[in-house]
Each structure stands twice: as structure tokens, then as C-alpha cells.
A and B are shown apart, each in its own frame.
Chain A
Amino acid sequence: MAGGLSPAAALPTEVRTRAARSRSPAVWLLLGPPSLVLTLLFMLPIGLVLVTSITDPRMSLAHYQRIFTVPLYTHVMLNTFVTSLVVTALCLVLGYPVAYVMARRSDWVSTLLLTIVAMSFWTGFLVRTYAWLVILGSKGPVTGAYQALGLGPAPQLLFTSFASTLGMTHILLPYMILALFAVMKKIEPDQLKAAASLGARPRAAFAAVFLPLSLPGVVNGSLLVFVSCLGFFVTPILLGTPRDMMISQLINQQIEELLAWGFASAVAVILLIATGLILVVYNRFAGLDRLWG
């Protein structure tokens, strides 16, 4: 993201000895206040959610028991998981060719694609959700095309899990593409040329060389999309249906309609734990820094 003027590896050893001054008070002056603020204004509020989930209205684990035994709520958990998997798969299938073309070409096509992806990336969730509301709505172009072709009444598209899956795929696709692209652009074209000079057909060279080298990007992108999808808020509420709720819809409903703080908190804790577990597993195998970097 930021241009390094000199590679860190070239730093003289003297810098390392300087960096090792761990007892210097400066480090506590620099890191103390920000750490304190983040602890008080982030970790504490999150901790309170945890506490609320087992103390509101009274001390018990009843909320958690309900989440895992009442079919309505197990359905929400399962639906969230499945929807996130579907969205991740769709983003991967749609995103891979785009990232591939962006990484393999270095002409205006690549620049144009990157510009479109960046535009989509920076356009707010609500603008894009609104656009799908228009496209899939009862006075929208899809319904219009249906009627123009004389296919009879158009099916209900809006407020279905189809609409919410489509909307989330559209919103998360740029994340997938950028994660794939970040890895793919580092693959040396020479490696593919070497495969070709050894007699590999383009397709074979892709399968044997490019695809395996791009796998870290596939893992990063899929993880990013899957985790974002688990807690996705705006789009499922505006485009989806309460019959096929996702976790964040359940949290919203419990707070907005029922003021059920304890139960909403328990649902949030489960979402937090699920996200945390996925990231811990990823960290084991790849190291979290690779994901942000």
C-alpha cells in the first residue's frame, strides 16, 4: 500500500540494536495512551456484551441453550453459514477471471478493469443495495423485460434470499478480486514461459503453475468474504426476507422489536466466537499479517 523507499532487509544492523531499546520510556509514552483508549473504548464495550449475554435478565446460560435448541434459531445459524458459503463461492468464480486478466495483462484493459473494481470497492454499501432494489423491484428492468417478452407475471425477486445473496455477492466481489490480484501480480510471467518452453500447453501451464501459485490469494479472498458475510447487516435486511434470516438480522430484530438485550448479546457473542475461530485457524496456517498485508 505504501511505497517503501528502501527495503527493510537492507537496513544496517545498527538499526536493529537501536530498535532493541525496549526499556525506553518513550515506547510507553507512545503506546500507552492509544492502548488505554482502545481498551476502554473498544474492548470494554465488547466485554460488556459478553457479560450482558449471561446476566440479562438473570445470571444463566439460557440464551445460549435457546440458540442451539430452538429450531428457529438453529435455522438462522445454518442459513447464515450456508449463505456465506454460497456468496464466497460465487465471488471466487466471478472474481478469479477478472483478477487473472488484471494480473496477466499490463495494457489499458488491465487498467480499466482495475478502475472498475476500485470504483465498485469505494462505492458505499447503501448505494449498491439501493441499486439492486431498483433492478429487482416490481417496476424495475427485470420485471419490465419479463413483461415485454410476454413471459407473464415476473416472479417475486425482491425480499427473497436470492436478492440478498446477489446483493452481497455484488458488494463483496471487489474484496475477493483485490485479494486475488494482490497474490497473482507477484507470480512471475517467466515461470509460465518456462512451462511453455518445456512443452506445456497454455491450459496445462495454467493448471500446473499459475493455479497453485494463486492459491494463497484464493484462501485470503475466501476468508475475507466469508467472514464479512457472516456478520453482514444492511443488505440482508433491505433485500432479504425475515423468513430466511441471517445472524445480523436476528440481532437487529431482537434489539429493535423486542429489546431483548441478553439474547441479542448471546447471538453476537456466537458470531464473534465463530469469526474468531476461523481467524485462529487461518493464523495457524498462514499468519494473520498476510491477510491484511
Chain B
Amino acid sequence: MGLSLACLVALFLLLPIVIVVPMSFSTAISFEFPPPGYSLGYYAKFFTSEEWLEPTLNSLVIALGATALTMLLVVPAAFGYVRYRFRGKALVNLLMMAPLIVPHVVSALAYYGFLGRARLTGTHLGVIVAHGVLAVPVAFLVISATLKGFDRNLERAAMSSGAGPLRTFFHVTLPVLRPGMLVGALFAFLSSFNEAVVVIFIGGRGAATLPKKMYESIRLESDPVIAVVSTLLVSAVVLGVLVSAFLRPRGANAA
């Protein structure tokens, strides 16, 4: 009985995600299911309209910028946090986790006020700063966990064989930690790419990302192109999940 229940719930999770695929090939001018006919019309519209391509580009640029900022903050912080004991360690941990603890709508309001004063709302820089900071906790968790699992005897072996600290870092420490760092960076990227609350407040016209554009498109015009975007995003997720399943056949930690 447990199994059939589990399968029903899995269908409940899956079906709404699947339904966007036929919708994207629809000929209907509004949200109609099942579609009255099929065509590639909305794909053509997506790939030719500035209105959708610009947010797509914005999403990628902002997520890349945010990832860079997050890593710049998190990598040194994680090294300091994991490898040293010092007073106020709990406080540093709380500071690093704060953007995860504070509800996003509160952060959104905070950045709207703060970046507004700095005249940075509606700019790429503003959204990159906000997203870069908001992704700190998830990257910090991944990277400090990687660091905790790092065997420092490897470094000692390198040093005692005559390698200097820098050489040791670049030839021993970094290569061993690279997978963990990459996972941290990937999580930061996805955190920015999927973020839909802060950017709705601060993105304005100039730095609207895909989630903001989708939100506005649903609220204001019910543009069926959103089905195309959704299908492309779902395809990317499916690809990502399958690739990660292939890379780690025993991987129980898909998320």
C-alpha cells in the first residue's frame, strides 16, 4: 500500500511539470489544455522576441556575476571558518547563514529600500549584489562541508616533500577540493537563476530576469510563450538530473 501511495504522490509531483510541454506546442492564444492544435509558433516567437530573449540573457549574466561574488566571499570565509578556532565563531556562522534564515520577501523589501537609495535598482549590478549575497549560505554549507572532509595530511606530505605553501595550495589542496567547489558554485548559480522574489522587487525594467518576466507575463498578459520558457527550463533540469545521476551511479544525494 505504501508503494502505490508513493507512486501516486510521485505522479502529483510529476504531472504538472510534464503538462507544460504540450502547452508549449499549442496554437491557443490563452492557457488552454488540452491544446486545440499544435505548432511551433510560440517557439518562433520566443527565439525572435527581444521581450523574452533579453530576460534570458539577463538571467545568465546575473547568475554568473552572482556566482563569482558568492565564491569570492565564501571560499576564504569557509577556509577561515573550518581551519581556525577563534572567538565569535558561532556569530560568523550565523552571519553566513543569515540570508537563508531571513525570509526572501523581507530581504526583497530590504534591498528595494537599500539599493533604491544607492540608485542601483533596475541595474545588473544591484541584482548581482543581492543574489550574490543571498547565495552565500548554500555555497558556504557545501564548501565548508568539503573542507571538513579534507585530509590535511595531504598538505603536510606536500610540504614535507619541499613544496611551498602556494604550490601546495594550487597543486594539492585546490585539485582535491575542486568537485566540492564546483558543486558550491553550481548551487549558487541555480540559486540566482531560480530566484523570484528579490528580483521582482529590485529588477525593474533594466535587469528583469526570466522568473520576473514570467511573473509579470502571468499577472499582466497571460502570454503563452511562457509555456515555451517553462519547457526549456524543465528540459534543462531533466538533463541536469540525468547527467548527475550518470556521474554518480550510487548517488543518493541528487539534491
Contact A117 B141 (CB under 8 A): no
**In the bound complex, how far is the Cα of B7 from the Cα of A100, in angstroms?**
12
Contact B109 A265 (CB under 8 A): yes
Inter-chain pairs besides A26-B84, A115-B254, 10 sampled, C-beta below 8 Å:
A2-B180, A8-B148, A18-B152, A46-B106, A49-B113, A114-B252, A118-B241, A126-B218, A131-B17, A135-B16
B44 interface contact, C-beta 8 A: no
A22 interface contact, C-beta 8 A: yes
Contact B151 A6 (CB under 8 A): yes
Contacts of A102 in B (CB 8 A): 6
B33 interface contact, C-beta 8 A: yes
Contact A141 B34 (CB under 8 A): yes
Contact B20 A131 (CB under 8 A): yes
A41 interface contact, C-beta 8 A: yes
B96 interface contact, C-beta 8 A: yes
Q: Knowing A121-B255, A173-B13, A279-B101, say if A234 contacts B196 (CB, 8 Å).
A: yes
Q: State the total of A-B contacts with C-beta under 8 angstroms.
A: 291
Residues of chain A having any CB pair with chain B under 8 Å: 1-6, 8, 11-12, 15, 18-22, 24, 26-27, 29-31, 33-35, 37-39, 41-46, 48-49, 52, 94-95, 97-98, 100-102, 109, 111-135, 137, 139-141, 144, 170, 173-174, 178, 185, 227, 230-231, 233-234, 237-238, 247-248, 251-252, 255, 261, 264-265, 268-269, 271-272, 275-276, 279, 288, 292-293
Contacts of A127 in B (CB 8 A): 17, 20, 214, 229-230, 233-234
Q: Knowing A101-B3, A118-B255, A120-B14, say if A268 contacts B109 (CB, 8 Å).
A: yes
Contacts of A238 in B (CB 8 A): 215, 218-219
B77 interface contact, C-beta 8 A: yes
Contact B241 A140 (CB under 8 A): no
Q: Give the residue name and chain of the B residue nearest to A173 (CB).
A: B13
Q: Mark B98-131, 1 if CB is under 8 A from A, else 0.
A: 1111111111111111110000000000000100
B253 interface contact, C-beta 8 A: yes
Q: Which bracket fits the contact residues of B?
A: 35 or more
Q: Which 7 A-B pairs rank lowest in CB-CB distance, beginning with the nearest?
A: A4-B149, A231-B103, A30-B80, A45-B114, A131-B16, A118-B254, A45-B110
Q: Give the residue name and chain of the B residue nearest to A127 (CB).
A: B230
Contacts of A18 in B (CB 8 A): 152
Contact B85 A19 (CB under 8 A): yes
Q: Knowing A2-B180, A101-B3, A126-B214, say if A34 contacts B31 (CB, 8 Å).
A: no
Contact B105 A271 (CB under 8 A): yes
27 contacts between A and B (CB under 8 A): A2-B146, A12-B153, A20-B85, A24-B84, A26-B80, A33-B76, A42-B99, A44-B114, A45-B107, A46-B98, A49-B113, A95-B9, A97-B2, A97-B9, A114-B254, A119-B237, A120-B17, A124-B233, A126-B210, A126-B218, A135-B16, A139-B28, A178-B255, A185-B252, A233-B197, A271-B105, A293-B141
Contacts of B106 in A (CB 8 A): 46, 49, 231, 268-269, 271-272
Q: Mark B233-255, 1 if CB is under 8 A from A, else 0.
A: 11001101110010000001111
Contacts of B60 in A (CB 8 A): none
Q: Give the residue name and chain of the A residue nearest to B240 (CB).
A: A122
Contacts of B74 in A (CB 8 A): 34
Contact A46 B215 (CB under 8 A): no
Partner of A117, one of B95, B218, B255: B255
Contact A139 B5 (CB under 8 A): no
Shortest CB distance A281–B (Å): 14
Q: Specify which of A124, A292, A293 lies most central, judged by the most chain B CB atoms within 10 Å of its CB.
A: A124
**In the bound complex, how far is the Cα of B245 from the Cα of A150, in angstroms?**
45
**In the bound complex, how far is the Cα of B15 from the Cα of A120, in angstroms?**
10
B194 interface contact, C-beta 8 A: yes
Contact B30 A133 (CB under 8 A): no
Contact B254 A22 (CB under 8 A): no
Contacts of B85 in A (CB 8 A): 19-20, 22
Q: Specify which of A22, A97, A276 lies most central, judged by the most chain B CB atoms within 10 Å of its CB.
A: A97
Contacts of B20 in A (CB 8 A): 127, 130-131, 134
Partner of A135, one of B19, B101, B107: B19
Contacts of B183 in A (CB 8 A): 1-2
Q: Knowing A41-B129, A97-B6, A130-B214, say if A8 contacts B149 (CB, 8 Å).
A: yes
Partner of A264, one of B23, B109, B253: B109
